[in-house]
Amino acid sequence: MSTGPAVADDGGSGLASFRRNVWWGLAGTVACVLGFAVGDWVLDPDVPAGLRALTGLSTATTIVACGVLLGRRMRDRAPSAGWLVTAAGAALVAAAVPLAVGNFGIWSIAPAATIAVLVMFLPARRAWQALGLALLVLPAIGLVTALATGEPNVAHAVWMPALMVVAFGPAMLGMLRGWQVAARLDDARRLAGQLAVADERLRFAADLHDIQGHHLQVIALKSELAARLAEADPARAAEQMREVQQLAGDALRETRALVQGYRRTTLDAEIANASRVLTAAGVEVHADVDAGLAAALPQAPRSLLGLVVREATTNVLRHSSATRAAIVLVPDDAGARLVIDNDGARPVVAGDGTGLASLAERLDAVGGRLSWVSDDDRFVVTATVTG
């Protein structure tokens, strides 16, 4: 039996909660329908005690076995042979006892529910074919038994099993399909986030190549020239080496600036890039940015706010189940306030010099402040700088 593509556990995010809700919906439907329908008959004192006990025990076993099988299906695990045999055997007993004493109203509920659970392990096409077969077989059993026992209401013996198959099968397959679609969408969102991070790394690599490639090429040429001039013209060789030293210093400063975020884009560009990569990752982004305020900020605070935007965006992409995010830059009493809010991130606030804790220290050094707060499913980062 094929269970389809495996779905990774999301470590307790909204997808895991949805999976649990779907399981409770499916297992609860089986338990409630069987419990209420068979319970009245099991508690009927006019029915022999032995038959009631046997039917009650087999019905309870059917409910438990179906719940276990549904749990395995929701985690894309193959059904165990033991639970398959248990579910099928218990359902047969729960059907045979009422049918043997002429109760045509409840006998088909346990087998119809069990069949609906078992076909969930089949590919979609075969699952619907199996339900179609059950739609023929169960009413036929009811018809043959009714005719053999002289049941006057033959129509009831036929349409009740058909109704049970129609009630259980499509509903349970539909709920399973909803779970599968949600799981695939979550996989696609996760992949989009990974691609966005990869795209950002490529952008960084391209910037680094632009800096290092030019400087190293010139350094190599001037070093070669200095080596040739060392004996013939020591003064010119020394001049070339001084230029090499200056180029090496420039390359080092620009590389440090690139790593720390002081070189290249404006704060506006960082916010635009964050909006782009978050949208690509399936996060709905609302950006409210005072462009004039961003341009008027001094270089150091503006660059640090850009780093805050980048770090918060990275947190959402790497540690998040967020579906919505907001980036707001507004005037503050002393300068500007940046607020980045999302509904599902689990950020890493300590790190190796580039996390929120490190950024808080750097903002404090220029008279700013960085804080973050987690409130239920929301995570809010707030940075203030002086203008």
With a cut of 60, say whether residue 350 has pLDDT above it. no
* Location of structure tokens 């002393």: 334
pLDDT band with cut points at 50, 70 and 90 for residue 115: very high
Tell how far CA 192 is from the center of its chain.
11
DSSP annotation of 264 reads: S
* Location of structure tokens 């635009």: 272
Please tell me the predicted confidence (pLDDT) of residue 266. 65
Question: How many CB atoms lie under 10 A from the CB of residue 20?
Answer: 12
Please tell me the predicted confidence (pLDDT) of residue 260. 64
Domain spanning 265-387, CATH class: alpha beta
What's the pLDDT tens digit per position in 203-251?
777 677 766 776 776 788 778 888 888 888 888 888 888 888 887 887 7
The percentage of the chain sitting over the pLDDT mark of 90, rounded to a whole number, equals 27
pLDDT band with cut points at 50, 70 and 90 for residue 14: low
Tell how far CA 321 is from the center of its chain.
6
* Element at 189 (helix H, strand E): helix 154-232
pLDDT band with cut points at 50, 70 and 90 for residue 6: very low
With a cut of 50, say whether residue 299 has pLDDT above it. yes
CA distances from 29 to 85, 91, 293 (A): 21, 16, 57
With a cut of 80, say whether residue 135 has pLDDT above it. yes
What's the pLDDT tens digit per position in 150-191?
888 888 889 999 999 999 999 888 888 888 888 888 778 777
Domain boundaries, the chain: 14-190, 265-387
What is the rounded distance in angstroms from the CA atom of residue 342 to the CA atom of residue 283?
A: 9
Please tell me the predicted confidence (pLDDT) of residue 261. 58
Please tell me the predicted confidence (pLDDT) of residue 12. 41
Pairing label, strands 335-342, 324-331 = antiparallel
The percentage of the chain sitting over the pLDDT mark of 70, rounded to a whole number, equals 88
With a cut of 70, say whether residue 46 has pLDDT above it. yes
CA distances from 125 to 120, 131, 354 (A): 11, 10, 51
pLDDT band with cut points at 50, 70 and 90 for residue 53: very high
